[in-house]
């Protein structure tokens, strides 16, 4: 599966049935060679241009199912926001490197 395949899928929280948005980024642990989390822009942003700089960061362990059109996640507290500049040194963000 390519990253572009992830970015076209809607992310749905199975706890409340709400659509959180589409995946904008993946956080990778290069040392372990695995995906740590998916990043979904907060609902106040439009293509990353307008609004605040907070994202919903969803740990990989919270992903329930990846389907053809959607990614189902289980989040009890959707207010798990993180400022974009709080990136750990072991994490590599795909879009910032390759999408400019």
pTM: 0.68
Q: DSSP for 57-87, please give it.
A: EEEGGGEEEE-SSEEEE--S-S--EEETT--
Confidence label for 52 from pLDDT (cuts 50, 70 and 90): low
Q: Are the beta carbons of 71 and 40 closer than 8 angstroms?
A: no
User: Tens digits of per-residue pLDDT, 61-77?
Assistant: 999 999 999 999 999 87
More confident residue, 86 or 51: 51
- With a CB cutoff of 8 Å and minimum separation 6, the contacts of 65 are 71, 72
């Amino acid at each position: 599966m390519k990253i572009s395949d992830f970015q076209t899928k809607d992310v749905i929280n199975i706890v409340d049935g709400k659509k959180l948005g589409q995946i904008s980024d993946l956080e990778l642990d290069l040392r372990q060679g695995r995906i740590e989390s998916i990043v979904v822009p907060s609902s106040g942003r439009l293509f990353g241009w307008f609004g605040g700089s907070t994202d919903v960061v969803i740990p990989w362990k919270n992903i329930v199912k990846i389907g053809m059109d959607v990614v189902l996640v289980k989040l009890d507290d959707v207010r798990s926001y993180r400022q974009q500049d709080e990136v750990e040194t072991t994490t590599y963000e795909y879009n910032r490197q390759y999408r400019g």
